Each structure stands twice: as C-alpha cells, then as structure tokens.
Amino acid sequence: MSASDCGTGGYRGFRTAVVPAAGLGTRFLPTTKTVPKELLPVLDTPAIEYVAAEAARAGADRLVLVVSPGKESVAAYFDSNPDLEAELRGQGRDALLAKVRRAPGLIRVEVAVQRKPLGLGHAVGCAEPLLAEDEDAVAVLLPDDFVLPTGVLGTMAAIRRRHGGSVLCAFDVPRERISAYGVFEVEDTDDPDVRRVRGMVEKPAPEAAPSTLAAAGRYLLDRAVFDALRRIVPGAGGELQLTDAVALLIDEDHPVHVVVHHGERHDLGTPAGLLRASVDFALADSDVGPELRRWLRDRVERETT
C-alpha cells in the first residue's frame, strides 16, 4: 500500500514499532552490570513498558526489541509470570496483580539481536528481516526519550497520510545543548507545527547547527530507510547513524517532515533525567504525590536558607 492510497479504511500507517535497546547503559554503571537500563523504573514501572504502551496506543501490533547479546531479559519483562500471578491472586492483591499483568497484555514482542555495537542506524537495520512484505513503514521509538503527553506518533501517522514519505518528531533545544542531537534543516508548511525537512545532521557543533530543532526519538520511517541504511558509512562517533540514512533519503527527494512537539520530554538516558521523570510521575500520583511535594519543598528550602 502506498502513502497515497491509504486515506480510508483501516490503515494505521504502521504495524511494527522498532525499539533499539542494545546499548551498554554506561551512564548507569554500576547498576547496568546486571540490570539493563531499559528496565530501570520511572517511579515503579520500567521505561520500556511506557514505550510499548505508547506504540500499542498508536496502532502498532508488534514491538521489535533490538537487543545486544545478554540483554534478552528486556524482552522477558513482557512474558507473563503465572506463579507470581497465582500468588498475588491468592493473597487478594488485585491492584498489584493488574500491574503485573499489564505489560504481557500490551503488544506482541519479538527480538532482533544486534551482535556488534555499530550504531543506532545499524540497530534499526537489524529489525528489517522481521518485517512482512506488505509493511511499507515502521515506527522507531528510542526508549531514552520520554515524550509527553504521548500521542505524537498518531499525529505523525496523520502527516504521513497527507504528505507520504517519512515523519519525525522535533523539539526545540537551546543552541548550547544542540550538539547532543540529530538536528533538522527545515522550511515552513501551511501548518506551523509541521515543517518540511531539507537536511538533517547528527550532533553538529552549536555554531554549525542548521536550526535548534532536534530529533526527539520518535520516527515514522518509510521502508526505503532500510535501503538507505545499507548505503551509509560510519558518521558521528564512528557509528552508523539513523540520521545519516534520513539525510540520504532527503538528498534523494524522499519527502521528510517533522512534527514539532510542544510538550514535555524527559531524557531517560542519564541518571538525572530518569530521576526527574520519576519525580514528575510521583508528583502526579495521588498516593505518593502529596507527601513527596511537602518533602521536596522542605528539602529545597533547607538548601536555600
């Protein structure tokens, strides 16, 4: 099905969501000696469950987790645990039982193994053999990026229906921090929150960045990206970059747009970012929020007096 004949019927834009989870998690050492970064909790739930829920809500029916050897436990998190469930049921702990059953009920999970850490582009390419012939687009969600409120993938799918090609998510970053990201060169469309992408560059120096619009870890990619991924060479950091495959598509006149995200974004790739996301969720939680808020106020006041 091409982008142009999919405006009606049950077309959801994509069925597979690829989630690269092969990194060593060095920023979280020593914990990541034994616990994969993706299983660290935001409050009480691993980030990977939120990502799976986001993909399922956007219409995906399958999550392809790209893991490195030894990180299979990330996928095991989505298996059900009948013994634990029976125990909780026997104890009448229904709320906990519901939490435990949540992840296995979300979405079908499959695993692709990335044997060598050759970069994000290479990791995404590892999912290609699992795609069905009729899948002409895939979503890619980076689990380090917590994009709130969720739902931007749905908007991106609507933009792909309108313009075809590939659609990414952008957020505005202060120029002094732009070199941590893939950065877009854009031009306006008739919608202020949608820009046509004319170029994309990975981790530019602040003075060389074509804009302050950065890639936010949500991609809806035409299947053509896999062909581009086979043609790129190592780029920033000596790695095969997804950004460079998107840049190649743009050079070859493949339409690429970004949806500019105005909500919150937490960077779960650093301990401070994960902590911030936990505090954010905890403050919104009716059980732990009020007490935490009091404690935080008190704690910060002590700091400043």
Query: Residue 215, interface with ligand G1P (CB under 6 A)?
Result: yes
d(CA 45, CA 242): 28
Query: Residue 64, interface with ligand G1P (CB under 6 A)?
Result: no
CA dihedral 92, 93, 97, 99 (to 10 degrees): 160
Rule CB under 6 A: choose which of 144, 156, 171, 244 binds ligand G1P: 144
Closest-CA residue to 151 (of 49, 54, 250): 54
Q: Which residue is nearest to ligand G1P (CB)?
A: 182
Closest CB to ligand G1P among 77 and 181?
A: 181
Closest CB to ligand G1P among 145 and 222?
A: 145
Query: Residue 214, interface with ligand G1P (CB under 6 A)?
Result: yes
User: Whole-number minimum distance, CB 84 to ligand G1P, in Å?
Assistant: 33
Burial class (CB in 10 A: 0-12, 13-18, 19+), 20: buried
d(CA 17, CA 141): 7
Query: Residue 54, interface with ligand G1P (CB under 6 A)?
Result: no
Q: Which stretch binds ligand G1P (CB under 6 A): 36-44, 130-138, 235-243, 290-298?
A: 235-243
Query: Residue 142, interface with ligand G1P (CB under 6 A)?
Result: yes
User: Whole-number minimum distance, CB 30 to ligand G1P, in Å?
Assistant: 21
Number of residues lying near ligand G1P (CB under 6 A)? 14
Residue 83 burial (CB count, 10 A)? 8
What track of x and - describes contact with ligand G1P for positions 154 through 193 (by CB under 6 A)?
---------------------------xx-----------
Amino acid code (one letter) for 297: R
Q: Residue 213 — φ and ψ, nearest 5°?
A: -95, 115
Rule CB under 6 A: choose which of 103, 217, 277, 282 binds ligand G1P: 217
Query: Residue 68, interface with ligand G1P (CB under 6 A)?
Result: no
User: Whole-number minimum distance, CB 243 to ligand G1P, in Å?
Assistant: 5
Inter-residue contact 165 to 206 (CB < 8 Å): no
Inter-residue contact 169 to 215 (CB < 8 Å): yes
User: Whole-number minimum distance, CB 215 to ligand G1P, in Å?
Assistant: 4
- DSSP designation for 261: P
Inter-residue contact 61 to 10 (CB < 8 Å): no
d(CA 265, CA 60): 22
Residues 101-120 that bind ligand G1P (CB under 6 A): 120
Residue 134 burial (CB count, 10 A)? 8
Write out the residues near ligand G1P by the rule CB under 6 A: 120, 142, 144-145, 181-182, 202, 214-215, 217, 241-243, 269
